[in-house]
Amino acid sequence: MKILVVIPTVFGGGAEQVAAILSREWSLNHDVRVLAWQSAGGSLDFGVSVVFTDLGVQQGLLRKLRNVWRRVRKVSEEIRCFRPDVIMAFMDEAGMPCVVSAGLNACASRLIVSVHHNPQWLPRWRRALLGLFYRHAGAVVAVSEGVRGELAGALRIPQARLHHIPNSLVTGAQVVDADPESLSMKMQNGYVLAVGRLDRHTKGFDVLTAAYAALPAPRPGLVIVGDGPDRGAIEEDIARAGIGSEVVLTGWVRDPRPFYRAASLFVLASRYEGWSNVLMEAMGEGCLVVAARCPYGPPEILGDELAEWLVAPGDAAALTQCMQKALSLNDVERNAVSSALHVRVQRFAADKVAARWIELARSLCAPHEQASS
């Protein structure tokens, strides 16, 4: 099968990492080509060479519209030259141009658009625009059942076109860009860990700092891995809580795995998620976890059997209580919970998730192949 993967950038966030992991898996048995709008910041390993277009973000309405049309033309050019059996678009900046290009080239029925966010986060005009475009794709893949439901309701995409395929777990050979000089080596083991974009409200860092400050002393340190627009506000929260000497903000780190391995507990305090790659990563490394039961992702990742480690989003007191429960486990109890977490997360292994995408792609290609024969 010939697969054209289209993505805005090839570095950094969760959607890009998922696309890279899947592309590497697909390239083992299929002919894969990756098209990206920009390359600034380096590139993850996609398993194949990436075609860069220099069609990144533009400022000003006219420039943005002109750039969108250039993206449409570039995708159309790739469709005509590469002649893919299926097109897979990751993130909205790729999805919308791909819908237009696929329509112009009579292959919209073989276009799969991946949605990694909760559409309720978006302004009403953007939801309406995405709904208008995405209902013409052959399939729209949501990273969680919750997001799938939101896409049906908020974007009014027909249920028949909606599918749920979770993000894939980064493990073993699928690890993206390992950093052997991790900052974790400089820190004392046994800390509480949070990983993610420093978005104070959405990621719940205000709740996390309040919950951590309420833990009884002596308590392990708190390490926050990531960067983002609200770093200053989070630092102010830390200072007001009087925990500045106990908290380390590392900034962005290419590979957080060493931090999971050295932590006593991973905490996800988000108010909203589409899924949660970092929660899966922590579980995959055997780290104990406590997570907010936020829409969407964590409840699906942990399942009913591990629901005791979920708390109501925004509830700092409940989060403190659950953190203290996890930190108080003895070695036997910790090992049992760690093992259960590791077993649970294996259902999201990269090869299993990649196979589900190929199964969906084949179902879209079948009518086209029958018509051609």
Residue 19 pLDDT exceeds 80: yes
Cα atoms in the Cβ-side hemisphere of radius 13 Å centred on 118: 16
pLDDT in tens, 101-122: 999 999 999 999 999 888 877 8
Residue 331 pLDDT exceeds 70: yes
Which DSSP state fits 63? H
This prediction's pTM:
0.87
* Residue-level pLDDT at 156: 87
Amino acid at 214: A
Sign of the CA dihedral running 26, 179, 144, 299? positive
Tell me the domains of the chain and their CATH numbers: 2-168+349-372 (3.40.50.2000), 176-348 (3.40.50.2000)
Q: Measuring CA to CA, which residue among 251, 17, 2 is closest to residue 116?
A: 17
Mean pLDDT, residues 256-280 taken together: 93
Instruction: Report the alpha-carbon distance of residue 19 to residue 250 in Å, rounded.
Output: 26
Residue whose tokens read 């993505």: 7
Count the Cβ atoms, other than its own, within 10 Å of residue 321. 15
Q: What percent of the chain has pLDDT over 90?
A: 75
Residue 142 in tokens: 């949501």
Residue 23 in tokens: 């592309």
From the number of C-beta atoms within 10 Å of its C-beta (0-12, 13-18, 19+), residue 111 rates as buried
End-to-end CA distance of the chain: 16
Instruction: Report the alpha-carbon distance of residue 332 to residue 357 in Å, rounded.
Output: 39
Residue 172 pLDDT exceeds 90: no
Mean pLDDT, residues 130-141 taken together: 95
Residue 182 pLDDT exceeds 90: no
